[in-house]
Structure 1
Amino acid sequence: MENPSEDPSSQLLLHNASCSLCPSAATLYFLPSIYALLFLTALPGNLLSLWVFLRCISSVSPTHVYLTHLSISNLLMAIMVPFLAVYYAMGTRWSIRDIPCQIVLHGITPVLHINIYISILILTWVALSRFTVLIRNTQPSRPSACISLLPHSFFSSLTRVSFANGVCATLWVMVVGGIVPVTVYYSMNEATRSEELCYSPMVETGGTVSSISSISPIILFFVLYLLVLVSYVTVLKHFRSSRRNSIITSSKCMVARVSRNIVVIQIVLSLCLLPYHIFKPIFIILAHYQPSSLHSCSATTCHPLSVFIELKNFLFLLAVLRSSTDPVMYFLLDRTFRQQTHRLLRNNKLGQMVWTTTGSGSQKTEKVGEGNVILSRGVSL
C-alpha cells in the first residue's frame, strides 16, 4: 500500500484536515428535504413499475427485461436515499468512526455509483439496440457499413429474452466488479485517514486512487452519450433520405417511435447525468492537482473547496433524481407498460369505488340502491 506521506495530494488533504467544511443552509436543509421527497416518489414509482413488469405483462420482450433491471437498480437507490438525507443533515455532527457514517461510506456510496452506471449502460444499450434493428429492417437492400459488419445471428439475438438477460447479467458484473473495489479502497484507506467529522474534506474529495479511478467511468459516459447522440442523428438522416422509399413509408410509425425513444433517453442523459460528469473532472483537478497555495487555510476558516463540494453534491442530486423520473420514462418508452399501468390503476380505482359503495351501512345502501346498480353495470363494462 502506498504511504500517504509520499503522496503530495494526500499531504495536502491531511494538512487541510483542520479546515472544516462550512455547509450552507442549502446543504443542511434543502438537500435533505429533496432526498426525502425523492424517497417518497421513487420507492412507490419503482415498486409499481416492477410489479407491472413482473406480474402484469404476460408477453415479455427484451425491452421489458432491460427496464425491469433498471427498476431493480432504482429500487435499491430509493432504499438508500434516506441515508443520504440524514448524512447531509447530520454529517457535521457525526464522527467518522460513528456507525451511521460508516454505513454511508461502506454501504451507500457503492450502491449509488452502481445505480448511476448501470442505468447509463442499460439506457444506452436500449437506444443502440433499437437503432440497430430499425436501420437493418427499414433498409435491407442497402444496409449501412456498420450494420453489414455485424453477423446476422446478432440481430436475431436482439429479439430474444434470454439474450437480454445475458446482457443485463454482464452489465451488472462489469459495473459491480469495477466500482466495488474502488469504493472499498476509498472508504477504508482514503476517507478514514484521520479522526474528523463525517462530512469533511477527506470524505468529500477522496484520495488520489479513487480520483484517478473515476476518470474511466467519466470517459465511458461521454463515449456512450455520443453514441446515443450519433444514433439519433443517423435515424433522422436515414428517415429524411428515404422518405419516398416504400419500405420506409410503411414503417413510418416504427421510425417515429424509435426516434422518440432515443430522444427520451438522450434527454434523460443530458438533464440528469451530463452536468455531473462535466463538473467531476473539474472538481478532481481543483481537489488534487492545484498548487498548495490555493488550498492554504487555517483552523478558523472554511475549507477553500466548500463551495465546489456543495456544487458537486447538487449535481450528484440530479443524477440520483433520475431514479424517481424513470417510471415516467417507461410510459414513453414502452406502450405495453403504459397500457398495463393504466389498466392496473383503473381497476384499483374502480375496486375502491365498489368497496366504498357496497361497504356502507344498510340504511345508506337502501337509500342509494339504484346508484349501486348503475355502478356495478359500469364495472362490468
Structure 2
Amino acid sequence: MKRAFNTTLGIGVVGMLMPTLGLAHGPVSTSDRLAQIQTMFDSDSIVEGPKVVDCTLSGGTEAQCFSITLKNSLTQHEMGPWCPGNIADDAEKGGIWVRDGVQYDVDGAFVENLATFYDDPKWQLFDKDSGKIKVTDTQKSCAGAAVVDVDEQYNNYCVECSTEYMDEAVETTYVLPLVPVPAEDTLEVDPHMGRGIAFNGVKFDAAAPQDVILAAHTIAPFDDCGGHVNLHVGYHYHGANGCSPKEEMAKADAPMIGFAMDGYPILAKLTGDVAKEEGLDACSGHVSEGIGYHYHGNSADKNEILGCFHGETGCSLDSPDAVCTANDRPAGPPPGEENAEQAE
C-alpha cells in the first residue's frame, strides 16, 4: 500500500535538513530549493534541470522529487591512470587496488607480485622477458574483460577502459526526493542502482564485484580518486577519495560532496578520533544538531561509498521523460545491460 508524504518545504524535517544545504531555517520556497541544488553542481555536468516532478519512492511513498539530468564533466586527462605498462613502473603510472579494507598502489611491483599477494601461482599479468604488463588498452579488450563473464582470452589482464571508447557521453536522470523520507527499515543496497551523485556529475556506484574480477585472475584498478570506467556507466566512483567538488556548509561537520539516492546529503569522510566519537550507523550516517541525518561517504578502500540507505530511494533513469516508480523496478539488470552486465 502506498503512503503519501507531505513535501511542503517548511519547518520540521526540512528545517533540520536545510542548514546542511546552506539554507536558512524556516519555510523555503520550491524555486529557492531548486536554485540551491543547481548551484551545487558543476554547470558543465548539468544537461537538464533541476525541476520538480511527482515520484513514487522505493517504499511506495508518493512524493515530490527533483529531477536532474547529468553527465560526467571531467576531461580525459582528469581520469586515471589505472594500469602500469611495465613491472618497472612506479606508482605514478598506476592507480589503486583494495583488499579487505586496505588500499594498495598498483605499481609495477604490485602487479609482479600478485601471485604472492593472493597466494595463487596462476596470476601472471606480465611477460617474464620484457616485463610488459597485459592491459586492456582497446575498446574490444575492454568490452571482453569488463563484464561479469570475462572472455577467457582476457584472463590475467590488468583491466582498464577509457571514455574515449564510448560513442557518446552517458547522460543519467536522477530523481531524488525533495524531502528525504526515512525508511521503515534500513534498506539494503540494490546492486543495480547507484549510491548517489557527486557534484561533478559522476555517479557514486555500487561495489565493484571483486570476486568476479579475481576469479578471472584480473584486476580492475581504481584511479587515485576511486573511479574507473565501464562501457555502460562511463566513469564512476566506488568511493570518495577527496577528488570531487565540495560544498562548505554552515554547522556541518564536513563539506558536502553529493546526494545519496534517498535524497540525504553525503558529506566527506570523517577521520581519526572524530570518526570514532561520532559513531556512524551501518549506512555511514548519523544525526547532527542543526543538520539532521546525513552520510559520511566511505573512501575507495571500502569499495562503495555507502553500505545501505536510511531513506526510501528515488531513481536513476535513462531518459529525463521517464517516470520514477522506484517501488516497481523489475527484477534483473537495468535496461541495456541484459546481455552484458558490467563487472565494474
Name the TM-score, length of structure 1 as normaliser.
0.27
Structure having the larger proportion of residues in helix = 1
Structure having the larger proportion of residues in strand = 2
Largest Rg, 1 or 2:
1
Name the TM-score, length of structure 2 as normaliser.
0.29
Which one has more relative contact order, counting CA pairs under 8 Å at least 6 apart? Answer: 1
